[in-house]
Structure 1
């Protein structure tokens, strides 16, 4: 529904099932309000599912993350929703910020799909980045998340949620779901929607035994991600996080892209007027090129699987 220049979002984008026993695939988009790509991709997926009615095992549910922030194209309103899912916040039950209200609404949706109703429960959280990037998976190494992530053809980052507190994938994992975060590309890159759509279709294939040839958009809606946009699979681990305080003035040097190689001594950024130079021969990850956020950048290195 149009509302001025903005859109008003419903919490549930869509649900689909063939009424056959099987897993749950719980997909979230727009956890950050300036990242609508996952929502757009989910809308396309559910339109196709309703059009072609393919057989799947279990069910897929698509959920909007930060509705209010999406309405105004802003990362968050009061506090980053992807830093809100701490054990303390969930246990206290307080709804004193807009993001806590959003979090508890999403939790209530998930409660409608209890573990007892499914053979397994998977999650997929869809994001984009402020810097240019190839698509990549961010996975927490708990449960069988890592093995699940390696079924998908792109770069894989381990350990982000172990460093950054309150992420939604940390909540999903500790409540027994298997899954990962998928970063599809830069916020404004049209390929980000292609990549989100592609990974959702692949997740439906892997989790819910969807025969991709049953959908009318195949192979294009999958190949745009797998063959055109995704790099060959590599695995990286985070070796450093450059965190920021709300009061810090931080300016990233222009032109950095995710996974770009950096060298010892290279100028990376300015913080409160002081130079920040690399202490590593490694790769830069998630350089901050937006006004909101408390992670200046990360440093990662490739590892053997």
Structure 2
């Protein structure tokens, strides 16, 4: 089996001109839900052969880390996609090698018949969380993200450098990161499956009614549209590699916080909130360089 065969979860097309829908999962090796969902979707597509425009392809992210069930091997794969790293062509860590394999797959499967190129990057969180989209405000990314039925976070990739979505946006793809929920949550697999179906509908013109049955996952995700909110990041609690950090227990994404609230301990010092806002991505795992973020709700 060659490297491309090992990297690709599934590829599907029915011979019609149209866009490329590029879907990655498992960029962090302790986040396998998107991989499981992609396998299920491609299995159904291959079995039932519904018409689509263009081509859909799903790829493994950090394949080595996925096999070991850890976030990364040498460095965070979702921090390696900087202009400097890509230009250098250096493959001196596992994650850089994995990055260049993904880039090569994208190049191989992009061609002149693509009317547009889209991406979806599937993730999960260490804390409990409703599903949400993280989008960089580049090109038509934000307008595209608002076509889907979940909360939207703007600005993550503008302050956390080296993320895959920033790289893909920079080279002209339209898309976003989708966070399906907590790492071990069964709902995360369901939400990832639903989002994959929905991007195929929006990007590739898939008619779900042509399937033997409309996936139940789609309904479970779609009902959230009426409560959709848009947030922007106003603060990031950064961590150095040798910092001792402990988040106060029980925080969930988008949970409200008040000024003076005890949020976490870093190197023995209490961190108190200076905001009446919302907590975002509180860290409840051993690996990571972001303790938490603070976000506020904005108008679309």
Give the TM-score band, short-chain normalised: over 0.9
TM-score by length of 1: 0.95
Q: Is the 8 A contact 1:48 1:216 kept in 2?
A: no
**How far off its partner does 1:214 sit?**
1.2
2:159 aligns with one of 163, 167, 180: 163
**How far off its partner does 1:10 sit?**
2.6
RMSD: 1.2
1:53 aligns with one of 19, 43, 49: 49
How far apart are the structure 2 equivalents of 1:145 and 1:189? 27
**How far off its partner does 1:115 sit?**
5.2
Q: Is 1:26 equivalent to 2:22 in the alignment? A: yes
1:80 aligns with one of 53, 76, 80: 76
Which structure 1 segments of 5+ residues have no match? 1-8
The aligned residue for residue 240 of structure 2 is 245
1:220 aligns with one of 212, 216, 223: 216
Distance of aligned partners of 1:112 and 1:133 in 2 relative to their CA distance in 1, 3 Å threshold: same
The aligned residue for residue 124 of structure 2 is 128
2:60 aligns with one of 47, 57, 64: 64
Which structure 2 segments of 5+ residues have no match? none
SS of the residue aligned with 1:105?
Answer: helix
The aligned residue for residue 136 of structure 2 is 140
Q: Is 1:304 equivalent to 2:299 in the alignment? A: yes
Q: Is the 8 A contact 2:148 2:225 kept in 1?
A: no
How far apart are the structure 2 equivalents of 1:266 and 1:117? 54
Distance of aligned partners of 1:211 and 1:32 in 2 relative to their CA distance in 1, 3 Å threshold: same
The aligned residue for residue 249 of structure 2 is 254
The aligned residue for residue 6 of structure 1 is none
Segments of 4+ moved more than 3 angstroms: none
Residues 198-209 of structure 1: pairs in structure 2 closer than 5 A: 198-209=194-205
**How far off its partner does 1:117 sit?**
2.7
SS of the residue aligned with 1:195?
Answer: helix
TM-score by length of 2: 0.97
Q: How many positions carry a matched residue from both structures? A: 296
Q: Is the 8 A contact 1:198 1:221 kept in 2?
A: yes
The aligned residue for residue 15 of structure 1 is 11
The aligned residue for residue 190 of structure 2 is 194
SS of the residue aligned with 2:240?
Answer: coil
**How far off its partner does 1:231 sit?**
6.9
The aligned residue for residue 284 of structure 2 is 289
The aligned residue for residue 172 of structure 2 is 176
**How far off its partner does 1:42 sit?**
0.2
Distance of aligned partners of 1:223 and 1:97 in 2 relative to their CA distance in 1, 3 Å threshold: same
Q: Is the 8 A contact 1:115 1:121 kept in 2?
A: no
